[in-house]
Chain A
Amino acid sequence: MKPFQNINPLTLRKMRRFKSIRRGYYSFLIFILLILISLFAELLVNSRALVVRYEGELFFPTYGDMIPGTVFGLDYVYETNYRQLKEKFQAENSGNWVLLPPVPYNAYENDLQENAWPPFPPSFKDRHYLGTDVVGRDIVARLVYGFRIAIFFSLGLLLANYTIGVSIGCAMGYVGGKFDLFFQRIIEIWSNVPFLYVIIIISSIVVPNFWILILIMAFFGWINITWTMRTITYKEKAREYALAAKALGASNMRVIFNHIIPNTVAIIVTFAPFSVSNGIVALTSLDYLGFGLPPPTPSWGELLQQGWANMWAWWIAGSVIAAMIVTLLTVTFIGEAVREAFDPKLHTVYE
């Protein structure tokens, strides 16, 4: 049995074509790698130790409840400071040890110093590889956790937008007539609402969380894909295979879901990467303006804002701008490659 037996040979060809576009393909791999890294960020960038060996016992603090300092013989009941614990164990040299993640800071804690004021420049000694922000939080940690939020935000938004947009667009194209006209007018009105202002107004009254923000943005974001879906559905509906299915007695549902939508996937997929980058940019700009996710959520927009207000602290603006360029370039390269690989002109022969 071949693994891809069930996949349409045309799709296989598209995938092969995609793989052959080197720039896009490697971008895709990098992008997947970034997501994977961010999923396991707690193991790489965290103030909690990976492993602690204390009095012969092993602790794995990364996931799970916080371990108060008293467990390790310290004099406080709040969460153990593992960096200090490590130093203490090293000084005692008693066989206890702590294994810290490569970046031993989380995205929230303020690593402040005596007689010096944040933002602190990058330092290998302190393991602040990209320095700290204006309240002494590690920039690597803010970037990594901020990336995780931004990427899942924009994937969530994509899913929400496309679910609504594709359903409505498809229905408009398939049902046609008055239904189509009615929704066209609705969408025209809807798309004239200045959505950024609406979001700003809403989020200045209620503090949005992750899901509310997706909901608000999806409320206005589904429109774009509708027009495209409507047009394709009109086109596909009139083609022979759809008519044939209809003639064989297939229900409308079956025609839509088994015949029309699979044939429009190619188009939807080419839009997706650009929507992802739009989602990231949208969240970042909202955070930049102070209307996004509430502080202290790690966010690129907030870092950008800090960087702008503190231009002399080049490492803040520098890191976040570099991170944005890398992410957005990767996504755009993927988008380009997908568009090229799925280009219908390469796969159809017009007679």
Chain B
Amino acid sequence: MHKRYFSSLTAALFLFVTAAPALGASSELPEDIEWLTNREDPVFASPEAQKGGMYNTAIASFPLTFRTVGPDSNSSFRSAILGNQLSLIGIHPNTENIIPELATHWAFGKDKKTMYFKLNPDARWSDGHPVTADDFAYTLEFMRSEHIIAPWYNDYYTKEIDKVIIYDDHTLAVVSTKAVPDLHLKIPIGPTPRHFYGELDESFVQKYNWKIVPNTGAYQIADFKKGRHVMFKRKTDWWARDLKYFQNRFNVDYVKYTVVRDFNLMWEHFKRGKIDTFPMTIPQYWHVKSNIREVGKGYIHRIWFFNNTQQSAQGLWLNQAKEIFKGPKVRYAFAHAMNIEKVIDQVLRGDYYRLENGYVGYGRYSNTDIRARRFDLAKVTEYMTEAGWTRGADGIWEKNGLRFSVEVTYSNEEHTPRLVVLKEEAKKAGLELRLQKLDPSAAYKKVMEKNHDVAWMGWSTSLRPRFWEHYHSVNAFKPQTNNITNTADPELDPMIIAYRNSLEEEERIRLSIEMQEKIHQIAPFVPTFMVPYVRHAYWRWWRLPGPPGTKHSSDLFPPFDSRTGGLFWYDEALHEETKEAMKRGRPLEPVTNVDKTYMMPFLK
């Protein structure tokens, strides 16, 4: 297997040497670049893995289209399709180094906005066509087309990605419009098959709704019935199956997504074995609902896997444009009036962890010394008294006709139990929370227009901490920006700009850590919970490697996804054994695994 990899590598080199001069002076490959590759990082799949079997899983609704751009394409099923589209390079989920995907080699340009790639000459589309440099040039053409009706992509591929330079069929460069830190996270675009789409026109959206687009990943859609199911089939002759970081992965022959419209119903399907795994992160399912015979008799196993990945900044975002939150003391008092620990211990069964800071899990970019302010009545009294407030007849703080009473806007029904406990506890501290549950889009609108007192929400994560969007003063006091706390701090602003402009990793890390401390001092955000793990229940015949996931796994059973997907496999012998045991009612050993290999060090 390794031999084949090497031979393809030499082929690529050979091709590069012979073909480059032929293209002429207009696209001359710079001489002084250093080609890099990575064959040293450890693999994370298991050599024991066997191919075969069918993996059954469920989706809540059938996708409205198989397109991944354009109207109605942003459903959760999109990730199943994109999971089978490789990029030029990938990121190793444990070491975070670059690893090959479609490209075997890569190089950084001196201008800090260009990256050069050598494609794997073996790379094939699912219809047998070779993947060439032109397919990447076509990605830009495609994404910039007005016919795909995707303004965000039109914009991104115009304003962020400048151009693709083709040197020959297997050598190319991708150029960013500006020099950015971590260029390798931005540049690796995916190919788009020109031979399939050809010239785009107005009919694109209609025409490609249910077309199965050629892909480069391990599976392709083989069958589907609208409203019912989608079946993916493994490509037995997949071009990348023997590459180091793809070996022993993507093992099942078929992956079937069945539409089950209700979460409770999914659980029933799982109990009957109609679907193979079930997410167990919700405390109720892990502690109560999974106390069933199948688990007790060991037919269904459970796993609790700690990861170490970027945590969503979930919590209470205080709007500093509101009179009440103008002074820092009141914000400190607010933070000390939130009894998050009680909610975790007595409502969430101690399953969640306290989020200490808005930037947890960003590796060296995270400031792990910061501790969120804890529930402390004495400190609330101290800060409020210093700020000139007094307690009113109903026990709530008052000052000049203003009551310490704020509206908390949220949208998730599931969070009501947490908020009612916080509300009752806050009352002890002399703070009244008025809960306002809105429909998600109404809540989003209210927060984006900065009309909230306190927003109860979380942000999606990114690979590196982002500060400008959330804390820079240019985004404060105006609607439709992510600075929902209206933070405008003259000391913080220059740091944010320096961080944004710096291309030096060490400097960025230092600034990131300093800024987190600074934000902690400003206190516009009360961090609440994090869930630094994933839990599943799965039928016994499904096997996982050891360790069962990667540092960045947020799911142990993703069938696709080039980064962390497809690590599990089907064990036919175990299946037969389990079926036999179930038939006779013979109990097997119940298994609940807790894996802390990648647990965040400060949680241990």
Residues of A within 8 A of B (CB): 65-66, 68, 76-79, 108-110, 112-114, 117-118, 134-137, 204-205, 207, 290, 294-296, 310, 312
Contact = CB atoms under 8 A, between A and B. Distances in A.
Given A66-B395, A295-B419, A207 B424 contact: no
B346 A112 contact: yes
Interface stretch (B305-313, B426-434, B544-552): B426-434
A136 B343 CA distance: 11
A80 to B, nearest CB: 10
Contact of B438 (A79, A136, A137, A204): A204
B346 A113 contact: yes
17 contacts: A77-B381, A77-B391, A77-B395, A77-B430, A78-B429, A79-B395, A110-B420, A117-B349, A135-B420, A135-B421, A204-B439, A204-B442, A207-B438, A294-B435, A295-B416, A296-B416, A312-B289
B435 A295 contact: yes
B413 interface: yes
Of residues A68, A113, A117, which shows the largest number of chain B Cβ atoms within 10 Å of its Cβ? A117
B593 to A, nearest CB: 23
Of residues B284, B424, B430, B442, which shows the largest number of chain A Cβ atoms within 10 Å of its Cβ? B424
A108 B417 CA distance: 11
B170 interface: no
B185 interface: no
Nearest to A65: B393
B423 A112 contact: no
Contact of B395 (A68, A114, A312): A68
B25 interface: no
Given A77-B391, A77-B395, A295-B416, A109 B424 contact: yes
Given A78-B430, A112-B346, A117-B287, 16 more contacts: A66-B394, A77-B395, A78-B428, A79-B427, A79-B428, A117-B346, A118-B346, A135-B420, A204-B442, A205-B438, A294-B435, A295-B420, A295-B435, A295-B437, A296-B416, A312-B289
B347 interface: yes
Contacts of B284: 310
Contacts of A77: 381, 391, 395, 430
B427 to A, nearest CB: 7
Interface in B51-66: none
A108 B420 contact: yes
Contacts of A310: 284
Interface in B433-462: 435-439, 442
Contacts of B437: 207, 290, 294-295
A65 B394 contact: yes
The size bracket of the interface on B is: 20 to 34
Contacts of A290: 413, 437
B288 to A, nearest CB: 7
A65 B437 CA distance: 28
9 A-B pairs with the lowest CB-CB distances in the bound complex, closest first: A204-B439, A78-B428, A112-B346, A135-B417, A65-B393, A296-B420, A295-B416, A207-B436, A205-B442
A60 to B, nearest CB: 16
Interface in B171-228: none
Interface string B22-41: 00000000000000000000
B149 interface: no
Tell me the dominant secondary structure on chain A's binding face. loop
Nearest to A113: B346
Contact of A117 (B347, B393, B416, B430): B347
A109 to B, nearest CB: 6
Contacts of A296: 416, 420, 423, 435
Nearest to B413: A290
A217 B492 CA distance: 50
B377 interface: yes
Nearest to A66: B395
Given A135-B347, A290-B413, A295-B419, A108 B424 contact: yes
A320 to B, nearest CB: 17
A346 B342 CA distance: 65
A78 B417 CA distance: 22
Given A118-B347, A204-B442, A310-B284, A76 B421 contact: no
B527 to A, nearest CB: 21
Contacts of A109: 424
Contacts of A68: 391, 395
Nearest to B394: A66
Nearest to A134: B417
Contact of A110 (B289, B391, B424): B424
Contacts of B417: 134-135
Contacts of B428: 76, 78-79
A189 B430 CA distance: 50
Of residues B346, B349, B391, which shows the largest number of chain A Cβ atoms within 10 Å of its Cβ? B346
Contacts of A78: 377, 395, 427-430
Contacts of A205: 438-439, 442
A135 B417 CA distance: 6
Nearest to A289: B413
Interface in B256-315: 284, 287-289
A179 to B, nearest CB: 40
B288 A110 contact: no
Nearest to B283: A117
Nearest to B442: A205
Contacts of B346: 110, 112-114, 117-118, 136
A312 B290 CA distance: 12
Nearest to A118: B347
Interface in B391-413: 391, 393-395, 413
Contacts of B442: 204-205
Interface in B370-392: 377, 381, 391
Of residues A66, A295, A312, which shows the largest number of chain B Cβ atoms within 10 Å of its Cβ? A295
